[in-house]
């Protein structure tokens, strides 16, 4: 079994704590590796290393920084199978999705490497004669990244790639269910030639490692992805330091199926959106809002198709739905099933923990569909598991009202053949992402990604909007008049 330290200054260094934790396979219970329970002191040492590496990295031309990221992408391509299997073994998602997690990382690195030749600022006119006005991007400095476990290579790569190409150095904290995937990423970047200290990884709890990253004034920006309660806590701590912070939080994502929709296509999309990654995606479809004219047909087929899904170890390519990530996650999801039943939601299929044989070694849940009334907790709170609530509505207007009446606003979808309705839905659905005739999942890395309302605080990862997160605009005026010109005071001559 592999034993890791903290990755600080390009080396696996021991932690100042004597304590460790295991990362394990949620399908089998096998322990995969051991990591240190990091301390605040570990984080401070990682910040020292990131600060030491910053001047050289910041002054390395951005296209050269991009080249190293491209090399990391090449190495990941060569090691894709091994890394994809690790995602499945450590996090549980089925192997096609494990490989997809790695592919998304490769795609992002290839994309971001090219952005090293762009990182656009702007030039514009000046109020004054013989004066040149522009703004350019400058790195923020040492940045902290904190991630969840559900995309254990892709989410870290989105943050690390955008932070590094922008010229920052990084102190990174992975989720404690999936540190091994991030340890492997650190190996990949080191092999690609990333200088020591540019990327540092500290494992351990949010209460020590996470809080130090958020509270240490030497960390100039924190990029956080996780749940709303943690996000609120992190935001409040950061506010006291006026720290720049980006939050990417949860979702309660609706699919609307109109009476004119291609129902088979919609069903395919709903099954993939609701039960892919065992429902543990921030963009997972957790609400299905169906026009009454097609409700019975959709629900009938949905129940049959859900019952036919094969649940098991994601390493088996015939398996549709893998385990959930942990005992705690399993308990939280089953609690929601109980809450749904207590609220009077009708359980159409699923709802149980799977037991017997290999199921006893892992955390396997039946894909679950509730027939629910809008307003029940299962229709408003993020469950983050394979649980879908279906609701009947009489019209497009009612569907939009239900879709928008939650605190989250990440992804959304409408299935319809009516182009006018589709366009209207794009206008009015309160979400950072709207799909037409496609599921709520499936983000592309060169497009802005993020949400409105409680899903975040106004930033977008992916695409070039990521540079707004990881860089500061520096406004520059160059006066070549040879005279003192006073803006707003002596500009009256024409
Ligand atoms: P979580 O909030 O429990 O943990 C996220 C990270 O924060 C982990 O690394 C955790 O250790 C750390 N953390 C915990 N307490 C902390 C503290 N006080 N200070 C700093 N860091 C702390 O979330 P999770 O269970 O790992 O992930 C699931 C959540 O993530 C879901 O709500 C999901 O919707 C969300 N998510 C959002 C996106 C997005 O892009 N919007 C993507 C994936 C997941």
3-state SS, 233-279, equals HHHHHHHHCCCEEEEECCCCEEEEECCCCCHHHHHHHHHHHHHHHHH
Q: In this structure, what token pair is assigned to residue 290?
A: 């169906």
Are residues 165 and 221 both part of a single domain? yes
Cβ contact 284:253 at 8 Å: yes
Strands 31-36, 20-24: pairing kind:
antiparallel
Q: How far is CA 368 from CA 186, 365, 412, 462, in A?
A: 37, 8, 20, 32
**Burial (CB count <10 Å: 0-12, 13-18, 19+), residue 77:** middle
Q: Which ligand 1 atom sits nearest the alpha carbon of residue 149?
A: 26
Verify whether ligand 1 is closer than 6 Å to residue 249 (CB atom). yes
Domain presence at residue 77: yes
pLDDT in tens, the chain (494 residues): 799 999 999 999 999 998 999 999 999 999 999 999 999 999 999 999 999 999 999 999 999 999 999 999 999 999 999 999 999 999 999 999 999 999 999 999 999 999 999 999 999 999 999 999 999 999 999 999 999 999 999 999 999 999 999 999 999 999 999 999 999 999 999 999 999 999 999 999 999 999 999 999 999 999 999 999 999 999 999 999 999 999 999 999 999 999 999 999 999 999 999 999 999 999 999 999 999 999 999 999 999 999 999 999 999 999 999 999 999 999 999 999 999 999 999 999 999 999 999 999 999 999 999 999 999 999 999 999 999 999 999 999 999 999 999 999 999 999 999 999 999 999 999 999 999 999 999 999 999 999 999 999 999 999 889 989 999 999 999 999 999 998 888 666 66
Residue of the nearest CA to atom 31 in ligand 1?
A: 227
φ/ψ of 377, rounded to 5, equals -60, -35
Q: What total of structural domains would you count in the chain? A: 2
123 and 64 co-located in one domain: yes
Determine the Cα–Cα distance for residues 186 and 188; give it in Å rounded to an integer. 5
Yes or no: say if 3 and 44 are a contact pair by the CB < 8 Å rule.
no
Which residue(s) pair with 251 in the sheet? none
Strand order in the sheet with 253-257: 346-349, 368-371, 387-393, 285-291, 253-257, 411-415, 433-436
Residues above pLDDT 70, as percent of the chain = 99
The angle that helices 396-404 and 419-428 make with each other, rounded to 10 degrees, is 20
Residue 493 confidence (pLDDT): 67
What tokens appear for 418 in the block?
């009516």
291 and 318 inside one domain:
yes
CATH of the domain at 236: 3.40.605.10
Q: How far apart are CA 106 and CA 464, in angstroms?
A: 17
* 74 and 173 co-located in one domain: yes
Together in a domain, 243 and 340: no
Buried b (16+ CB within 10 A) or exposed e, 360-378: eebbbbbbbbbbbebebeb
Cβ atoms of 203 and 36 within 8 Å: the answer is yes
CA distance linking residue 424 with residue 399, whole number of Å? 12
C-beta of 175 in contact with ligand 1 (< 6 A): yes
432 and 468 inside one domain: no
pLDDT recorded at residue 13: 93
Give the pLDDT confidence of 400-451 residue by residue, as tens digits: 999 999 999 999 999 999 999 999 999 999 999 999 999 999 999 999 999 9
Kindly give the number of the ligand 1 atom that is closest to the alpha carbon of 207. Answer: 18
Ligand 1 atom having least distance to the Cα of 230: 2
Rounded CA gap, 15 and 40, in Å? 10
From 157, 214, 226, 252, give the residue whose CB has the most ligand 1 atoms within 8 Å, as the site to mutate: 226
Angle, alpha carbons 47-53-56 (nearest 5°)? 150
Q: Is residue 491 part of a domain?
A: no
In the DSSP assignment, the letter for residue 177 is T
C-alpha Rg value of the chain to the nearest Å? 24
Residue 210 C-alpha to ligand 1 middle, in angstroms?
A: 11
pLDDT at 396: 98
**134 domain-assigned:** yes
Question: Does the C-beta of 462 come closer than 6 Å to ligand 1?
Answer: no
Whether 125 and 263 share a structural domain: no
Specify whether 161 is located in the same domain as 42. yes
- Residues 209/43, Cβ–Cβ less than 8 Å: yes
* Closest residue CA from atom 44 of ligand 1: 282
Residue 447 lies in a domain: no
Same domain, 296 and 417: yes
Task: Tell me if 158 CB under 6 Å of ligand 1.
Answer: no
H helix or E strand, kind and range, residue 63: helix 62-78
CA 149–ligand 1 middle distance (angstroms): 8
- The predicted-structure confidence for 324-369, as pLDDT tens digits, reads as follows 999 999 999 999 999 999 999 999 999 999 999 999 999 999 999 9
Distance CA 33, CA 3 (A): 6
Q: In the block, which residue shows the tokens 């709170």? A: 381
Pocket flag, ligand 1, residue 384 (CB < 6 Å): yes
Q: 492 lies in a domain?
A: no
* CB 282 within 8 Å of CB 408: no
- CATH label of the domain that carries residue 258: 3.40.309.10
The whole domain housing 225 covers 2-249+456-476
Cβ neighbours around 446 below 10 Å, total: 17
Residue 443 lies in a domain: no
Same domain, 135 and 195: yes
230 Cβ closer than 6 Å to some ligand 1 atom: yes
- Are 16 and 163 in contact by the 8 Å Cβ rule? The answer is no
Domain identity same for 215 and 340:
no
Domain for residue 450, yes or no? no
CA–CA separation, 213 and 231 (whole Å):
14
Residue numbers annotated as active site: 248, 282
Same domain, yes or no, for 193 and 305? no
Residue 441 lies in a domain: no
């Amino acid at each position: 079994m592999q034993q890791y330290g903290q990755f600080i200054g390009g080396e696996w260094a021991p932690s100042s704590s004597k304590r460790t934790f295991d990362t394990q396979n949620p399908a089998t219970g096998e322990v995969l590796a051991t990591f240190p329970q990091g301390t605040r002191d570990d984080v401070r040492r990682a910040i020292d290393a990131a600060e030491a590496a910053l001047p050289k990295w910041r002054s390395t031309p951005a296209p050269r920084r991009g080249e190293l990221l491209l090399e990391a992408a090449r190495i990941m391509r060569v090691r894709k199978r091994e890394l994809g299997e690790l995602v499945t073994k450590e996090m549980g998602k089925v192997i096609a999705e494990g490989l997809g997690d790695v592919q998304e990382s490769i795609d992002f690195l290839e994309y971001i490497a090219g952005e090293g030749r762009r990182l656009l600022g702007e030039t514009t006119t000046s109020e004054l004669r013989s004066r040149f006005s522009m703004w350019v991007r400058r790195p923020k400095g040492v940045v902290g990244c904190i991630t969840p476990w559900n995309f254990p290579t892709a989410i870290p790569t989105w943050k690390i790639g955008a932070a590094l190409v922008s010229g920052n150095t990084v102190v990174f904290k992975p989720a404690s269910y999936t540190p091994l995937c991030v340890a492997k990423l650190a190996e990949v970047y080191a092999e690609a030639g990333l200088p020591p200290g540019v990327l540092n990884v500290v494992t351990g709890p949010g209460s020590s490692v996470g809080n130090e990253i958020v509270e240490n004034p030497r960390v100039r920006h924190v990029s956080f992805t996780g749940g709303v309660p943690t996000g609120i806590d992190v935001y409040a701590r950061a506010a006291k330091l006026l720290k720049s912070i980006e939050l990417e939080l949860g979702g309660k994502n609706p699919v609307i199926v109109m009476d004119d929709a291609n129902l088979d296509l919609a069903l395919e999309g709903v099954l993939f959106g609701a039960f892919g990654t065992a429902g543990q995606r921030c963009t997972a479809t957790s609400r299905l809002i169906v026009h009454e004219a097609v409700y019975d047909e959709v629900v009938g087929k949905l129940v049959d198709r859900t019952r036919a899904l094969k649940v098991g170890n994601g390493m088996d390519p015939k398996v549709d739905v893998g385990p959930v990530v942990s005992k705690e996650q399993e308990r939280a999801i089953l609690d929601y099933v109980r809450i749904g039943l207590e609220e009077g939601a009708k359980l159409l299929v699923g709802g149980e923990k799977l037991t017997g044989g290999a199921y006893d070694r892992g955390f396997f849940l039946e894909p679950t569909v509730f027939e629910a009334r809008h307003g029940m907790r299962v229709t408003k709170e993020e469950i983050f598991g394979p649980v879908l609530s279906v609701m009947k509505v009489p019209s497009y207007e009612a569907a939009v009202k239900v879709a928008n009446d939650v605190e989250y606003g990440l992804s959304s979808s409408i299935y319809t053949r009516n182009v006018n309705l589709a366009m209207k839905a794009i206008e009015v659905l309160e979400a950072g992402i709207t799909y037409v005739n496609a599921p709520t999942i499936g983000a592309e890395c060169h497009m802005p990604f993020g949400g409105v309302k409680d899903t975040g605080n106004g930033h977008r990862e992916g695409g070039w909007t990521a540079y707004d997160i990881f860089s500061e605009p520096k406004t520059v005026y160059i006066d070549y008049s040879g005279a003192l010109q006073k803006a707003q005071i002596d500009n009256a001559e024409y």
